């Protein structure tokens, strides 16, 4: 399907190749600078696994569309923002294919842009890494406690992943959900090894309310909405990218580099198995959706992002000795 670059994408030719830069990911590829829309489409299609583009609305058959009119966020029983920040009209205008018909894949890639843009604009996750770097230089015990607390949150997510995702087998072809669940099995052991290498007991570390909210949201959408599930699971998985876990990169320069090994392994598995693409793969199997489905997915994904920012802020505070 035709793809167009995100507004934030910048392309620069260099001696190493074509540098494609967004605030959330940078790639260097062996290609010339595209000179036309068709050239851009070919390049972006070849790089579809990277979050640098969105799809144009597809021509979809007049099959039954999905509606999320029954999704009541109050059933989550958690605080909701006084004001939602993501602009609904931006997504609807991009994905519209009829009066109240929208392409699920075009809407998904538009929402992904809002999600990644918020991660950059909030600054919570970058600030967390900066606080970890400072603790690594000045106070290793604070570094280890902060990283262990973050690993404790991820351990909880991996432990609850299967039971939270399992209901989605009634929404999608079961084989696709089963494959995802199978690929997640064993990740809890990697997090446990990280904690062991840090000399920390998960039972003695705090489990944040925000972490519990993330899993509550995941199970909520897994039982109710295909489109919302695709977006929320992508929010939890993050961007599929090569390289190292950024938290592990801080740890490997500490006096306990062994702890970094398990974080890097977890990161590489997610990148290799393209967990960050799973949401797009699900959205591609869907057809027409209505505006209610898009709005509900946007709200739930934004809520999940708010919780993840709060987790990062709290871990950063621990690294500063403030919590």
State the residue for tokens 């290498």: 197
41 with 157, same domain: the answer is no
Q: Report phi then psi at 55, rounded to 5.
A: -85, 150
Structural domain includes residue 302: yes
Two tokens, residue 230: 């695709």
State the residue for tokens 């702890």: 259
- Rg of the chain on CA atoms, in Å: 20
Structural domain includes residue 61: no
51 with 77, same domain: the answer is no
43 with 122, same domain: the answer is no
Number of domains present in the structure of the chain:
2
Structural domain includes residue 66: no
Indicate which CATH number applies to the domain containing 195.
1.20.910.10
Structural domain includes residue 62: no
180 with 277, same domain: the answer is yes
Structural domain includes residue 60: no
Structural domain includes residue 64: no
168 with 34, same domain: the answer is no
157 with 260, same domain: the answer is yes
pLDDT of residue 240: 57
pLDDT of residue 98: 84
Structural domain includes residue 68: no
Instruction: Count Cα atoms within 13 angstroms, Cβ side, for 299.
Output: 21
pLDDT of residue 253: 92
31 with 97, same domain: the answer is no
Strands of 17-21's sheet in order across: 10-14, 17-21, 26-29
Angle at alpha carbon of residue 20, lines to 16 and 26, rounded to 5° = 90
Taking the C-alpha atoms of residue 230 and residue 100, their distance in angstroms, rounded to an integer, is: 21
Biggest CA pair distance of the chain: 62
pLDDT of residue 32: 93
22 with 123, same domain: the answer is no
What 3-state DSSP class applies to 5? Answer: strand
What is the residue range of 134's domain?
73-319
| Burial call 16-45: b when 16+ CB within 10 Å, e when fewer | eebebebebeebeeebeebeeeeebbebbe
pLDDT of residue 100: 83
Taking the C-alpha atoms of residue 72 and residue 247, their distance in angstroms, rounded to an integer, is: 36
Predicted model pTM: 0.93
111 with 27, same domain: the answer is no
Taking the C-alpha atoms of residue 51 and residue 225, their distance in angstroms, rounded to an integer, is: 23
Structural domain includes residue 67: no
Closest CA to 190 of 267, 285, 75, 293: 267
Mean pLDDT by 10 residues, the chain (323 residues): 94 95 94 94 93 93 69 88 95 92 96 95 95 97 98 96 95 94 90 96 97 97 95 87 84 94 86 79 92 94 97 98 91
pLDDT of residue 241: 62
Tell how far CA 212 is from the center of its chain: 17
pLDDT of residue 70: 62
Closest CA to 123 of 208, 212, 24: 24
Closest CA to 317 of 118, 124, 138, 79: 124
Element (H, E) at 89: helix 88-95
Whether 105 and 54 have beta carbons less than 8 Å apart is answered as no
45 with 85, same domain: the answer is no
229 with 99, same domain: the answer is yes
207 with 80, same domain: the answer is yes
Taking the C-alpha atoms of residue 41 and residue 52, their distance in angstroms, rounded to an integer, is: 12
| Burial call 242-279: b when 16+ CB within 10 Å, e when fewer | eeebebbbbbbebebeebbbbbbbbbeebbebebbbbb
């Amino acid at each position: 399907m035709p793809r167009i670059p995100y507004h934030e994408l910048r392309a620069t030719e260099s001696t190493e190749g074509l540098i494609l830069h967004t605030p959330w990911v940078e790639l260097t590829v062996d290609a010339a600078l595209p000179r036309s829309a068709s050239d851009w489409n070919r390049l972006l299609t070849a790089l579809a696994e990277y979050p640098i583009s969105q799809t144009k609305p597809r021509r979809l058959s007049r099959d039954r569309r999905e509606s999320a009119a029954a999704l009541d966020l109050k059933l989550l029983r958690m605080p909701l923002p006084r004001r939602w920040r993501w602009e609904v009209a931006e997504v609807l205008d991009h994905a519209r294919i009829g009066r109240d018909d929208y392409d699920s894949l075009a809407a998904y890639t538009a929402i992904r842009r809002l999600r990644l843009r918020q991660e950059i604009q909030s600054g919570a996750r970058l600030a967390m890494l900066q606080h970890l770097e400072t603790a690594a230089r000045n106070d290793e015990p604070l570094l280890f406690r902060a990283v262990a607390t973050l690993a404790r949150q991820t351990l909880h997510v991996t432990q609850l992943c299967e039971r939270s995702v399992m209901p989605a087998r009634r929404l999608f072809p079961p084989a696709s959900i089963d494959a995802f669940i199978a690929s997640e099995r064993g990740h809890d052991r990697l997090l446990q090894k990280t904690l062991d290498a840090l000399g920390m007991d998960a039972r003695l570390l705090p489990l944040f309310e925000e972490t519990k909210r993330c899993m509550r949201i995941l199970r909520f959408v897994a039982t109710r909405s295909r489109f919302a599930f695709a977006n929320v699971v992508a929010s939890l998985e993050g961007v599929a990218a090569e390289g190292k876990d950024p938290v592990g990169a801080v740890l490997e320069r500490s006096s306990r580099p062994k702890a970094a090994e398990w974080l890097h392994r977890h990161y590489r598995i997610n990148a290799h198995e393209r967990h960050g693409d799973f949401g797009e793969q699900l959205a591609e199997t869907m057809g027409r959706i209505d505006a209610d489905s898009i709005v509900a997915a946007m709200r739930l994904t934004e809520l999940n992002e708010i919780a993840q920012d709060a987790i990062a802020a709290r871990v950063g505070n621990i690294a500063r000795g403030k919590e």
